[in-house]
Amino acid sequence: MNHPHPDLGTPSPLVENGLRIVALGGLAEIGRNMTVFETKGKLLIIDCGVLFPEENQPGIDLILPDFSYIRDRLHDVVGIVLTHGHEDHIGAVPYLLRERGDIPIYGSALTLAFITAKLKEHRISPLTREVREGQGEDVGPFELNFVAVNHSIPDALAIVITTAAGTVLHTGDFKMDQLPLDGRITDLRTFARLGEEGVDLFLVDSTNADVPGFTASEREIMPTLDRVFRSTKRRIIVASFSSHVHRIQQVIDTAAAHNRKVAFIGRSMVRNMGIASDLGFLNIPANILFDARELDAFDDNVVLICTGSQGEPMAALSRMANGDHQIRVGAGDTVILASSLIPGNENSVFRVINELTRFGATVVHKANAMVHVSGHAAAGELLYCYNIVKPKYVMPVHGEWRHLKANAELAIASGVPRENTLIIENGVVVDLVDHVAQIVGAVPCGFVFVDGQSIGDITESSLKDRRILGEEGFISCVVVIDSQSGKIVAGPDIHARGFAEDEALFDGVKVDIEKALASAVHEGINGTHQLAQVVRRTIGSWVGSKHRRRPMIVPLVIEV
């Protein structure tokens, strides 16, 4: 576990009527959003999401926020508030509820439906409290109000937190699409009213803060979809996030206009679109849907909507690209990747694009066509918000360092004093006391890795070993020595994997090992552990100088 700021000490106890804010994820990264608010001895959590691993984290399935800060105080948690239903905001909820299952979860209808379905797979029945925009709710000592915001998923909310310390406005993820598909715009009138009343601390989505201008409207991809559908004679396969209801609505509408049947591929896609349809957030024309298992009964005039837009290994599109899915992609097919690239996924996505192209498909993606618009506000929209809200303090959230810094500069340009912009990392503690915000310390806050059934057991050291194994290979050496004389009885016996496996290659180093052990014994070194380290150093020196490699070396010295 790492400490984010060694120069910041452990914070003093929170003063009476103060409000403490600690982000346990989502700062200096895109994902695992989780922020803890504390007042009068009670804790409120906003969002609890996951981060997806990068290629330098082999074998890791998910990365969770670090719950250690609140683990001893779970009984003080009065609620989890979810701003919207994306995985980077709700994906870690099952792992938190494993530690205390009766924490109430507050969220909009669609968000709660998504998290309830996810929790059902984990055999957890949550306590849910549905809220909607315009509604107020007292949760323990926190007075909450909910504000409609537009995002790439319906039913997203911003959160207003009012305590004796002051007023905090947390945007969640948002943009300011003026012509959204569902007609539900970001409620700038309420933002303005809050600004008139006074917002002490503004937590603002930073994802597109370094993108000038305004994020395009979701509707602007319709002409591209129409053109692709018109020019494709065979099947169309669309890959999207299984929660991107607006994007899938447009695909369905375009399919209907071109008299194409539609099937959902992938468990999460089928589940989420069923939920969205049942709740009225997805409008599916009659007789357009068919079951993907009956695909052979249809001609090529179909649209298949699947997961895998990020190159996830087990998702439907990746399996099609690998040729191990029942759907075989071929010449004449068109594949549309209707999403952006999450940082760290580029290589995986390009690999999928290359393989699909090799099979003969035409691949349409953000780089070559207008098939995706962002769900996050660009710089122009953020400036509007700053001018409307006129916050006293600003804390950029949800973004990597470059996004947080760009967002802070926008706030400063709009008139927020530079010293009132708080650019911080996970674990840094901010206290709001009597309408004044300041950094007061830091708490330990690291990465929690999920590897299969293992949660938190894999460390950075373990990942380093995995990277070495994957990149440099493995050498083992077994030596048997006489416990009395220290002379070698058998070996050195050397085996290698992922290195050079020609055993004759190691004849030279075997002589070096024998000499090094004889010298060590002569100098009085006789413990098997110490002698094993002699073997490790000898092999390491040899392989480094001769082969410029640094494999994992496992020496074993046995006394008989």
The residue type found at 260 is R
**Do 185 and 148 contact (CB within 8 A), yes or no?**
yes
Query: Average per-residue pLDDT in the chain?
Result: 86
The residue type found at 440 is V
Give the pTM: 0.81
Would you list the domain boundaries of the chain?
19-213+374-455, 220-364, 473-559
**Sequence-distant (≥ 6) Cβ neighbours of residue 6 within 8 angstroms:** none
What are the C-alpha distances in Å from 340 to residues 268, 516, 548? Answer: 19, 56, 39
Q: Name the CATH superfamily, with its identifier, for domain 19-213+374-455.
A: Ribonuclease Z/Hydroxyacylglutathione hydrolase-like (3.60.15.10)
The stretches in the chain having pLDDT less than 70 are: 1-6, 53-61, 311, 313-314, 341-345, 450-472, 483-486, 498-504, 507-508, 522, 524-526, 547-548, 560
pLDDT of residue 57: 55
Length of the chain (residues): 560
CA atoms of 421 and 396, how far apart (whole Å): 8
Q: Name the CATH superfamily, with its identifier, for domain 220-364.
A: Metallo-hydrolase/oxidoreductase (3.40.50.10710)
What does the CA dihedral 8, 14, 18, 23 come to, rounded to 10 degrees?
Answer: 50
Token pair for residue 335?
């594949």
Residue 532's CB is within 10 A of a number of other CB atoms, namely 18
CA atoms of 107 and 46, how far apart (whole Å): 10
DSSP 262-276: EEE-SHHHHHHHHHH
pLDDT of residue 465: 56
What are the C-alpha distances in Å from 16 to residues 143, 430, 475? Answer: 17, 15, 60
Helical axes 401-413 vs 379-389, angle rounded to 10°: 50
With 0-12 CB in 10 A as exposed, 13-18 as middle and 19+ as buried, what is 214?
A: middle
Token pair for residue 224?
């591209």
Q: Residue 327: helix, strand or coil by DSSP? A: coil
Give the strand pairing for 436-442 and 448-451.
unpaired
473-559: CATH class: alpha beta
CA atoms of 31 and 13, how far apart (whole Å): 29
**Do 450 and 62 contact (CB within 8 A), yes or no?**
yes
Residue 17's CB is within 10 A of a number of other CB atoms, namely 14
**How far is residue 435 CA from its own chain's centroid?**
33
